[in-house]
Chain A
Amino acid sequence: MKAVKRSYYWWNKWTGYSLLILLLVATPLITILIKLFDSPGGSWSHIANTLLFGYFQNTIFLLLGVAALTFLLGVSTAWLVSNYEFPGRKYFEWLLILPLGFPGYIMAYTYVGILDYTGPIQVFLRNTFDIHFKGSLIDIMNLPGAIFILSITLFPYVFLITRSSFLQQSKTLQEASFLLGANRLKTFIKVALPMARPAIVAGIALASMEVLNDYGTVKYFGVNTFTTGIFRAWFSMGDSNTAIYLAAILMVFVFVILFLESIQRGNRQYAAVNGLQKPTARIHPTIGKKILYSGICLSIFLLSFFIPFLQLLNWVSMTWDKVVNKDFFLLIYRSFGLAAVSGLLIVVFSVIMLYALRLSPFKWVKNITKVATLGYAIPGAVIAVGIMIPFIGLDKWIYGTLFSSKTAGLFFSGTLFALVFAYIVRFMAVGYNPVEAGFQKIGIHVNEASRLLGIRSTKTLWKIDLPLIKTSLVSGIILVFVDVLKELPLTLILRPFNYQTLATKAFDMATNEMIAESSNAALIIILTGIIPIIFLNKLIEKR
């Protein structure tokens, strides 16, 4: 028999690249795990004795408060728009997603501005009714205020996922419930809500991750949480080991949330037993109820988006001529560049990992990609600390051994490389999911057909797979782009010295009593964020 070149089938270069990506992406978590075995930093006992309890208390209250309020806002609006016909219903479906474009920290200082002594409400009351307040109308710079701000920016997560779950619920199930004598309210509580539970909890879990990630809002409001603790340890005390310890505790919160979410979901898949079932028909309530439902949705929209957005526009109109100059365009250019490069790299990495998965018959390849996309759950501050420490070490080693220099220069740490690296770790899942959906949609057979026609896997990827998933690639890049643009805590820790992005500039100006001036950068972040939100909504409707 003629000998043929044969290779081991379980190995291909795609699997190798995926392992490499996994190794890189896992760096921050590995760092934290290893560093946990070091002794805690000098300020640890100080923080443990005086501040730690407060961190726990605030973080837990913040999580519970936001969970409750996002549940209330998200589920009620989702139920209304998916079950009733009322004026503006069609528009509220996407208007209520817009708050996602508002980063929490921008919402925070916008609200402070609205309620302020010089804000529009007090000015109006003073000038018209001669009513005077001392200081702010309502003091929101505290824990309840932070809960309110984070909830109105994060409830769309719950709204979005719950709405699509309600839409998937079959008409016949609800009809069965009515025929068994249950009214709308009872049907909602006994049938629709339990069926949507996995979706609701998933939405709240997403919102909770964002709460743990948040730095801007809590810092601005002076609410001390683990994230602000990490910043304090890192910047004010220069104590990296204490930052690591705090990051590790924060990760425990993350894993508890992930765990709770997964056990409540279990193996249950309530929605859509049979894909052919028709969605629930919306009912027309009485005129009075129609007005009520419109009113509820409208007030939530006004509070969570429209009023703060108007305030921002107002500030922009007052300050743009002073702020928008050459430096400002440089800021836009830098931010967009960073976001685009990160988006592109993440999509490239996602394609590589997913292609390995596509070609490999092995389950463990699936696990590689699962771990590599875990970053979305890790708070930005944790990722930043987890990347900074090995990079500083690497720099010391490079300068020490290669240049025999005693002072460490900045080769990796404090460079854009570190920043982009961190964005990739954190937002991998954001770009990965649409690419995965794209691959799933086109199926494996076109790829196999090409390979059986004698085309190598790499060429098949270029000629068949990539052209067919073009739109998924673009949406992956756009989604990452927007998230990077909004990102604050990671950028604050890892940016090169004096390097500003739109997000850091807006935050710096706001914390330095230049709220009105900061609105210019904020507006660009929000406007860029709104585009993919509308785009995303279209995708959900198509499904």
Chain B
Amino acid sequence: MSILTLQNVNKKYNQAMEFAIKGVSFDVKEGEILALVGESGSGKTTLLRLIAGLEHPDSGIISLSGQKIVEGKKSVPAHERQVGMVFQDYALFPHLTILENVKFGLKGSKEEVDSTSRETLKLVGLKEDFSKYPHQLSGGQQQRVALARAIAPNPKILLMDEPFSNLDAMLKDQVREEIRQIIKKTGITAIFVTHDTKDALSTADRIAILHKGYLQQIDIPKVLYENPVNPYVANFFGKRNEMMAIPTEEGFHTSFGFITDPEAKKFKGKVKLLFRPEHGEVVQRDGQQLTGKIVKISYFGSHQMVKLADDEGQRVTIRTNPGRSFDGIDRACFYLWKYDVEEAF
């Protein structure tokens, strides 16, 4: 069952400017974690703030657990929406202690409020003294308090703005997993904004990709990666190689060599073969494969990237295992085990 529904939501900050959000519609299912991904200026944070009630759309409908919270120019104010939010800078109240921060949004008897906030702080794994003030905590600890404060009142939906951007690389992988666990444990529906595809792929159940205010595609990570609906989405998860090719009855003629593929006869005229670096494999020279001149080898520890060029200067990058040695050779053979074909104009 969907808990949040957006129908044709539009938002412009300024009449003269382009749309910040244009015709966006999607559903979020109960208990799922959705990542809003896009470059800066794609409208992802605006979308989050529209759901929170901190910004207002020019038109469109937003419903939260069966109630319309936005319809045209009318809207339910933020404080009545029961939406939890973790800000990028955490926005902890500096004049209140950790415990007081978490208590802030809770209603009920003193004892209830106190025990709920202590439990929530334990849930997020904060082992500090609760009477400390926010400035006495590390960035990671502050984020836990912010998360506890947001989920303590049991909101209908949890929003997080760039939750991992302030953490250093070492901590990031650990925190991503922990936060996912906490959210899943509470069963809360969550939406988070990120510009990092790694965050989205590893943490979210589904990913929505925004570009210039338009929703490009929303689906599970595997589908987005393997079956992108357009080049923008495809390139978003890493660069794709482009190889010009001419289809024949048996396969594709390329400047790197011939690829046997019976599907090729479906195409007419020039085509582009699109493939990710990991969809190719560098192999021993045996004549039947594609070959290119080695231009550059970049070593990344877990893998290396080999840049190969044909005689006309066209270049492709192939991913290979880190142990492979290219000493003393200036040409390498490779084959492609997966590629998309696109008509070239």
Contact = CB atoms under 8 A, between A and B. Distances in A.
Interface centre among A4, A457, A463 (most CB of B within 10 A): A4
Interface stretch (B86-94, B317-325, B326-334): B86-94
B74 A451 contact: no
A448 to B, nearest CB: 5
B80 to A, nearest CB: 7
Given A4-B69, A9-B74, A452 B52 contact: yes
Nearest to B87: A445
Nearest to B94: A468
A449 B87 contact: yes
A453 B104 contact: yes
A130 B155 CA distance: 91
Contacts of A467: 95
Interface in B91-108: 91-95, 104-105, 107
A5 B94 CA distance: 33
B106 to A, nearest CB: 8
Interface residues of A, number: 29
Interface stretch (B28-36, B60-68, B231-239, B253-261): B60-68
Contact of A454 (B67, B75, B82): B82
A178 B105 CA distance: 58
Given A8-B74, A361-B55, A448-B54, A456 B91 contact: no
A455 B73 contact: no
A7 interface: yes
B76 interface: yes
A1 B63 contact: yes
A454 B80 contact: yes
A446 interface: yes
A449 B56 CA distance: 17
Interface in A1-18: 1-10
A443 interface: yes
B76 A4 contact: yes
B82 A8 contact: no
A1 B68 contact: yes
B84 interface: yes
B183 interface: no
B74 A455 contact: no
Interface centre among A10, A443, A450, A460 (most CB of B within 10 A): A450
Contacts of B153: 453-454
B79 A457 contact: yes
B79 A451 contact: yes
B75 A455 contact: no
A420 B92 CA distance: 39
A8 B73 contact: yes
A13 to B, nearest CB: 12
B77 interface: yes
Contact of B93 (A1, A2, A10, A450): A450
B85 interface: yes
Interface in A444-483: 445-446, 448-457, 460, 463-464, 467-468
Contact of A449 (B63, B66, B73, B91): B91
Nearest to B74: A6
A7 B80 CA distance: 11
Interface in A333-368: 361
Contacts of A460: 79
Contact of B79 (A8, A455, A463, A464): A455
B253 to A, nearest CB: 53
A6 B104 contact: no
A457 B56 CA distance: 16
A6 B55 contact: no
Contacts of A3: 68
A452 B92 CA distance: 13
B75 A361 contact: no
Contacts of A457: 77, 79
Given A9-B75, A450-B93, A455 B105 contact: yes
A452 B94 CA distance: 17
B341 interface: no
B71 interface: yes
A3 B56 CA distance: 19
B244 interface: no
Nearest to B95: A467
Interface in B281-310: none
A443 B89 contact: yes
B105 to A, nearest CB: 3
A457 B80 CA distance: 11
B91 A5 contact: no
A464 B78 contact: no
B91 A448 contact: yes
29 contacts: A2-B66, A4-B68, A4-B76, A6-B69, A7-B76, A7-B77, A8-B75, A9-B74, A361-B55, A361-B56, A443-B91, A446-B91, A446-B92, A448-B85, A449-B93, A452-B52, A452-B78, A452-B79, A452-B81, A453-B79, A453-B149, A454-B80, A454-B153, A455-B104, A456-B79, A457-B79, A460-B79, A467-B95, A468-B94
Given A6-B74, A449-B93, A452-B83, 8 more contacts: A1-B67, A7-B77, A9-B77, A446-B92, A449-B92, A452-B105, A453-B84, A457-B77
